[in-house]
Amino acid sequence: MNFKVHKTLNQSFIAAIMADIQQLHHLATQVRRDILRMVHGAKSGHPGGSLGCADFVTALYAEVMDHQPSFNMDGVGEDVFFLSNGHISPVFYSVLARTGYFPVSELASFRKLNSRLQGHPATHEHLPGVRIATGSLGQGVSVAVGAALAKKMNGDTKHVYVLMGDGEIQEGQNWEAFMFAAHNKVDNLIVTIDYNGQQIDGSTQQIMGLGSDIEAKLKAFGWEVMHMDGHQMESILDTLSKAKSASGKGKPIFIIMKTEMGYPVDFMMGSHKWHGVAPNDAELEKALSQLTTPLADY
Amino acid sequence: MKTFEVQNVKDTRSGFGAGLHELGKQNPNVVALCADLTGSLKMDAFQKDFPERFVQVGIAEANMIGMAAGLTIGGKIPFTGTFANFSTGRVYDQIRQSVAYSGKNVKICASHAGVTLGEDGATHQILEDIGMMKMLPGMTVINPCDYNQTKAATIAIAKHNGPVYLRFGRPAVPNFTPENQEFEIGKAVLLNEGKDVTILATGHLVWKAIEAGHLLAAQGIDAEIINIHTIKPLDAQAILESVRKTKCVVTAEEHQRNGGLGDSVAQLLSMSFPAPLEMVAVNDSFGESGTPDELMKKYGLDTTDIVKAVEAVIKRKN
């Protein structure tokens, strides 16, 4: 799969793209099944945000990024990704396994003793695909800025991607990193914020309002800001393509990705309730019945 | 008691700056980051000669540590520079998660440690940093004693793959260790052989231990003096070998008793060779404004404090 957005498309090309998008949908649905089964199996974890970001992380790894599942920590000559909101590790692990970083059967070990799939992503157990430990929030953007600087110093033209939570932006370190990246023109960096409006204790507006205009905040910090619908594969691919085109022009790029926590499981959507709770047997069955795919469970 | 020739009187932070500049010439992967204290950390020479590898991060230490961790992903060897207080306590969780737990090859270089920072007072005089850093799994903790040794340590840690905390200070102190010495991480340096007491000193207290050794010799006490420049990993073999001979120990450091060198030595001795131990260290207190000499005296870190501790520990033998 190698999706490119073109202004003028012939019919066969459109058909190929639609087939691509259909495949991405299947993969994202399978990732959602994995997320629910992993969290259920561990009787703990964070399904809500993981489900909400499944389309984006699937698109990144299956379509957008130029990356090597053989995995080299330094990531020289390839795109690298950091998950700053490490608690949505289930989506990260599932996508890594499903794109060839390690066997999908290993997903069953999530949060279990002696596993490489720790509750939050870690390098300590040498899980291929993970380049930094995250979980204590607010640190991933700084790490990504450092990795982006290293790419510039190495003459490496590939990109650095980060996903962060919207509640996570309350951590002050992010704003240090935002200032630095703009001041130093770190323009090979594409940060996406999962703008689902929920955090553990309630909605972000209740807990610590992010302000009516997150776009204006980031623009004022000197970033190029884009929007995308995190549940429309076409929107994700189109926006990431535009982001790549906008890179290298002196500004870091910030994408506000609208998502719904728990999407698309009907009883998990629209609330913070499923931020950090595992489904029981009946809830798992009900959720899985809403997620059908031709792919196979681990 | 052996005498040591003082080549000059220099600050250890200048040793760091010289070492870093040397590394800039030697190793193209060495990168330096500084949080608005380039002059204080003596990083100017590196900044001037290797501007493409110098990163000014502003007053944002948390971001500096995170970026340093990120720079290792791409094969860089980042050296971060700021005061010891802002290098540790302010950014402990960033170091813990992004550097130590993640096993990143970051060198955290910390100046103005301890009370010898002087007049700025307790807000800046960290006395807990060795403890915080040595508790982190996989972290190497080094506190060299003079200019030459700090320069050598700075060069040596670039060759060590893993996180390192390098601690040094502000005041000019006697520079007496060999120029262009080989610095071996984790290898204690025997400065003076003796049979009556073992003095284990680190950082600025090493020279004070030598001064104490002369005063003790005048009293007929034969002190074995060892420079513990690496607190973690501790050179257990060298320490136990000495204590088996002398049967008592004094530790000396510009740090809290809790968490410092004395604490590490107490752990080692109690498990391997119980022996009387006295600690010359700050005893559960913050510092204050004053000159370095006044503060070392007031907080019990002076040459005479080492002498008194030796007298006390010898009385406790048998």
Report ipTM for this prediction. 0.96
pLDDT in tens, B209-254: 999 999 999 999 999 999 999 999 999 999 999 999 999 999 999 9
pLDDT at residue A5 in the model: 46
Does residue B1 lie in a domain region? no
CATH number for the domain including B65?
Answer: 3.40.50.970
- B122 and B203 co-located in one domain: no
Does residue B49 lie in a domain region? yes
CATH number for the domain including B217?
Answer: 3.40.50.920
Does residue B291 lie in a domain region? yes
Instruction: Report the distance separating Cα A252 and Cα A183, nearest Å.
Output: 10
pLDDT in tens, B25-46: 999 999 999 999 999 999 999 9
pLDDT at residue A80 in the model: 98
Instruction: Report the distance separating Cα B159 and Cα B19, nearest Å.
Output: 13
pLDDT at A279 over 70: yes
- B24 and B86 co-located in one domain: yes
Name the residue in chain B with its Cα closest to that of A80.
B73
- B125 and B164 co-located in one domain: yes
Instruction: Note whether A34 and A107 are within 8 A (CB).
Output: yes
- B13 and B134 co-located in one domain: yes
Q: CATH assignment of A11-288, given 3.40.50.970, 3.40.50.300, 3.30.70.1520, 3.40.190.10?
A: 3.40.50.970
Check CB contact of A150 with chain B, cutoff 8 Å: yes
Number of domains in chain B: 2
Check CB contact of A133 with chain B, cutoff 8 Å: yes
pLDDT at residue B24 in the model: 98
Give the nearest partner residue to A124 out of B72, B94, B101, using CB atoms.
Answer: B101
pLDDT in tens, A99-156: 999 999 999 999 999 999 999 999 999 999 999 999 999 999 999 999 999 999 999 9
Distance from CA of B196 to the nearest CA of A (A): 45
Residue B99 burial (CB < 10 Å; 0-12/13-18/19+)? buried
A124 chain-B contacts, CB cut-off 8 A:
101-103
Instruction: Report the distance separating Cα A166 and Cα A189, nearest Å.
Output: 18
B76 chain-A contacts, CB cut-off 8 A:
150, 153
pLDDT at A8 over 70: no
Last residue of a domain, one of B175, B202, B222: B175
pLDDT at residue A3 in the model: 47
Check CB contact of A156 with chain B, cutoff 8 Å: yes
Name the residue in chain B with its Cα closest to that of A151.
B74
- B205 and B116 co-located in one domain: no
Instruction: Note whether B130 and B167 are within 8 A (CB).
Output: yes
pLDDT at A91 over 60: yes
Mean pLDDT estimate for chain B? 98
Domain boundaries, chain A: 11-288
Distance from CA of A103 to the nearest CA of B (A): 23
pLDDT at residue A131 in the model: 98
**Which of A142, A191, A221 to probe the B interface (max B CBs under 10 A)?**
A142
- B56 and B130 co-located in one domain: yes
B61 is catalytic: yes
Does residue B180 lie in a domain region? no
A84 chain-B contacts, CB cut-off 8 A:
none
- Which two tokens mark A292? 């059908």
Instruction: Report the distance separating Cα B226 and Cα B261, nearest Å.
Output: 12
pLDDT at B155 over 50: yes
A89 chain-B contacts, CB cut-off 8 A:
none
Task: Identify the domain containing residue B217 by its residue range.
Answer: 189-315
Instruction: Report the distance separating Cα B170 and Cα B111, nearest Å.
Output: 7
| Number of other residues whose CB lies within 10 A of the CB of residue B5 | 7
Does residue B3 lie in a domain region? no
- B166 and B193 co-located in one domain: no
- B197 and B169 co-located in one domain: no
pLDDT in tens, A156-205: 999 999 999 999 999 999 999 999 999 999 999 999 999 999 999 999 99
pLDDT in tens, A45-79: 999 999 999 999 999 999 999 999 999 999 999 99
- B99 and B145 co-located in one domain: yes
- C-beta pairs of B53-59 under 8 Å, 24+ apart in sequence: B53/A153, B53/B24, B53/B28, B55/A149, B55/A184, B55/B31, B57/A180, B57/B33, B58/A176, B58/A179, B58/A180, B58/A183, B59/B35
The 3-class secondary structure across chain B, one letter per residue, is CCCCCCCEEEEHHHHHHHHHHHHHHHCCCEEEEECCCCCCCCCHHHHHHCHHHEEECCCCHHHHHHHHHHHHCCCCEEEEEEEHHHHCHHHHHHHHHHHHHCCCCCEEEEECCCHHHCCCCCCCCCCCHHHHHHCCCCCEEECCCCHHHHHHHHHHHHHCCCCEEEECCCCEEEECCCCCCCCCCCCCEEEECCCCEEEEECCCHHHHHHHHHHHHHHCCCCEEEEECCEEECCCHHHHHHHHHHHCCEEEEEEEECCCCHHHHHHHHHHHHCCCCEEEEEECCCCCCCCCHHHHHHHCCCCHHHHHHHHHHHHHCCC
B55 chain-A contacts, CB cut-off 8 A:
149, 184
Q: Rounded mean pLDDT of B112-134?
A: 97
Does residue B111 lie in a domain region? yes
pLDDT band per the 50, 70, 90 thresholds, residue A271: confident
Active-site residue among B5, B22, B52, B61?
B61
Tell me the percentage of chain B whose pLDDT exceeds 90: 100
Sheet holding A224-229, edge to edge: A80-83, A160-165, A189-195, A253-258, A224-229
pLDDT in tens, A195-253: 999 999 999 999 998 877 899 999 999 999 999 999 999 999 999 999 999 999 999 99
Last residue of a domain, one of B153, B175, B197: B175
- B79 and B112 co-located in one domain: yes
- B77 and B103 co-located in one domain: yes
- B143 and B249 co-located in one domain: no
Name the DSSP letter for residue A195.
Answer: E
Identify any residues that bridge with B304 across adjacent strands, giving them in sequence order. Answer: none
pLDDT band per the 50, 70, 90 thresholds, residue A4: very low
Q: Is there a contact between B102 and A148 if contact means CB atoms under 8 Å apart?
A: no
pLDDT in tens, B278-299: 999 999 999 999 999 999 999 9
Residues 6+ apart with CB under 8 A from B294: none
Tell me the percentage of chain B whose pLDDT exceeds 70: 100
pLDDT at A261 over 80: yes
pLDDT band per the 50, 70, 90 thresholds, residue A11: confident
Does residue B296 lie in a domain region? yes
Last residue of a domain, one of B151, B175, B199: B175
Q: Rounded mean pLDDT of B8-15?
A: 98
Name the residue in chain A with its Cα closest to that of B97.
A133
Instruction: Report the distance separating Cα B51 and Cα A120, nearest Å.
Output: 37
**β strands within chain A, DSSP E:** 80-83, 160-165, 189-195, 198-199, 202-203, 224-229, 253-258
